[in-house]
Amino acid sequence: MKKQMTSRQQRDGAFIDDAKKWASIDWKTAQREVRRLQIRIAKAVQEGHHGRARALQWVLTHSFHAKALAVKRVTSNKGRKTPGVDGVLWQGARAKWQALGGLRRHGYNPQPLRRIYLEKKNGKKRPLGIPTLFDRAMQALYKLALAPVAETTADRNSYGFREGRCCADAVAAAFNALAKSNSATWVMEADIAGCYDNISKGWMLSHIPMDKEILRKWLEAGYCEDGHWYPTHKGTPQGGIISPLLANMTLDGLESAIDQAVPRRQRVNFVRYADDFIVTGKSKRLLVEVVRPAVEKFLKERGLELSSEKTAITRIHDGFTFLGQTFCKHGSVLHIVPARKGVLALLEKIGELLRRSLSAPIEAVVAKLNSVLRGWALYHRHVVASRTFSRVDTYV
């Protein structure tokens, strides 16, 4: 009996110690040490010392501070309550500390993704793969080592999923490319068909500068749906922490490919946000005969192709939509306003919210409405939106 009590006390004491250890982590020091290593990795890549960059990446992925930040990220974001196929959630300081100690390359085998579907605006469904929390933490850890390489080698006019850049920066870049009186008058609105799902696995394993064995295991983990396991032969699943970075690195170099294909002084500008991008041109013929073939050749090498439904070549005076904003030139003045389709979707969302909240307290309804309206208004505040704001305000 005494032995049982002693072992229980030791176990409880260990649990308390683990919780205290997690609480005692100095997060400012952790961020400073990881940032220092990331700067050294970026500098090595800039100087062409790729062997040194790989060695520093190894140091970072095996460091205590990087592992702590990886666990903190996956337990403090919105997905922390969404489990993978194992149903495990890390709740409490003790679970987080134990997870930190388990982040090791040796013997690591990722579990399959949990497949769910999100409904798109066009009625189709987008597959989403949910990794386990442990696999998310491993992805966050290796992303810390890969991100400085990606930032160093990224296209100048790439804005999606990059530190210190956002949609507003991409919209501003498009404005700068189209607003002048002598700017290009034709625009190719491009969209890649199933970008995440179709990237060539072989291309990623050959060109992504990270631990190849870890990357291969992630790409071959497969997914579970309705209790059955299915293999993955290509692509990087949407839902993984590192997937946007892998997709970005796959598309980096597209701007250079276009520049090399196009003669000088053709008013060609390139702006990309994730897998959506536009290319401006002096004439429709230039975009059709020179730019589009160059883009298609670049994408084909990576297992990708342009979406025939969503890719179009438009005259700027006829208007086009990019990142939820409509660009249209009236005379020599470029106007950017919230896209009509997005405004209608917002009004429909508000109406549905109000219909579902008929019996709810007015304070709760107002709080929900404010959350929706504030997010939408903050996104569109950089463009000519006063008339649209008034319309939405009148509707509400």
Burial bucket for residue 78 (CB in 10 Å: 0-12, 13-18, 19+): exposed
pLDDT of residue 14: 54
Q: How confident is the model at residue 238 (pLDDT cuts 50, 70, 90)?
A: confident
Distance CA 221, CA 229 (A): 10
21 in Cβ contact with 100 (< 8 Å): no
Is 10 part of any domain?
A: no
pLDDT of residue 27: 97
Q: How confident is the model at residue 21 (pLDDT cuts 50, 70, 90)?
A: very high
Distance CA 71, CA 363 (A): 36
Of 332, 352, 384, at which residue does a domain stop? 332
Is 94 part of any domain?
A: yes
Residues 373 and 290 in one domain: no
72: pLDDT strictly greater than 90: yes
Residues 205 and 320 in one domain: no
Lowest-pLDDT range of 17-21, 193-197, 262-266: 262-266
Mean pLDDT value of segment 24-35: 97
Is 81 part of any domain?
A: yes
Average pLDDT, the chain: 92
Is 4 part of any domain?
A: no
Burial bucket for residue 348 (CB in 10 Å: 0-12, 13-18, 19+): exposed
- The amino acid sitting at 232 is T
Please give the tally of structural domains in the chain.
3
**Considering the entire predicted model, what is its pTM?**
0.91
Residues 223 and 82 in one domain: yes
Q: How confident is the model at residue 15 (pLDDT cuts 50, 70, 90)?
A: low
Is 108 part of any domain?
A: yes
Residues 351 and 387 in one domain: yes
Distance CA 167, CA 244 (A): 15
Q: What is the DSSP letter of 151?
A: H
Distance CA 163, CA 38 (A): 13
Residues 216 and 269 in one domain: no
Is 9 part of any domain?
A: no
Distance CA 289, CA 266 (A): 13
Distance CA 239, CA 129 (A): 5
pLDDT of residue 2: 46
Is 3 part of any domain?
A: no
**Cross-strand bridge partners of residue 130:** 114
| Between 244 and 264, residue with greater pLDDT | 244
Mean pLDDT value of segment 31-56: 97
Find how far residue 141's CA is from the centre of its chain: 16
Residues 25 and 44 in one domain: yes
Conformation bin of residue 45: beta by default, left when phi > 0, alpha when psi is -120 to 50 = alpha
pLDDT of residue 379: 96
Backbone phi, then psi, for 327, in 5-degree steps? -100, 130
pLDDT of residue 266: 83
241 in Cβ contact with 147 (< 8 Å): no
DSSP characters for 277-338? EEEEES-HHHIIIIIHHHHHHHHHTTT--B-TTT-EEEETTT-EEETTEEEEEETTEEEEEE
Residues 227 and 138 in one domain: yes
Q: Could you read off the pLDDT of 367-384 as tens digits, one per residue?
A: 999 999 999 999 999 999
Residues 344 and 324 in one domain: no
Pairing type for strands 223-225 and 113-119 reads: parallel
pLDDT of residue 5: 45
Residues 192 and 209 in one domain: no
> By residue range, what is the domain housing residue 370?
339-395
Residues 186 and 145 in one domain: no
| Between 219 and 239, residue with greater pLDDT | 219
323: pLDDT strictly greater than 50: yes
CATH for 307: 3.30.70.270
9: pLDDT strictly greater than 50: no
Lowest-pLDDT range of 10-24, 51-65, 183-197: 10-24
Residues 174 and 318 in one domain: yes
Residues 204 and 62 in one domain: yes
> Helix, strand, or coil here: 158?
strand
pLDDT of residue 149: 97
Nearest one of 243, 239, 244 to 77, comparing CA atoms? 239
> Helix, strand, or coil here: 216?
helix
Is 159 part of any domain?
A: no
118: pLDDT strictly greater than 70: yes
pLDDT of residue 359: 85
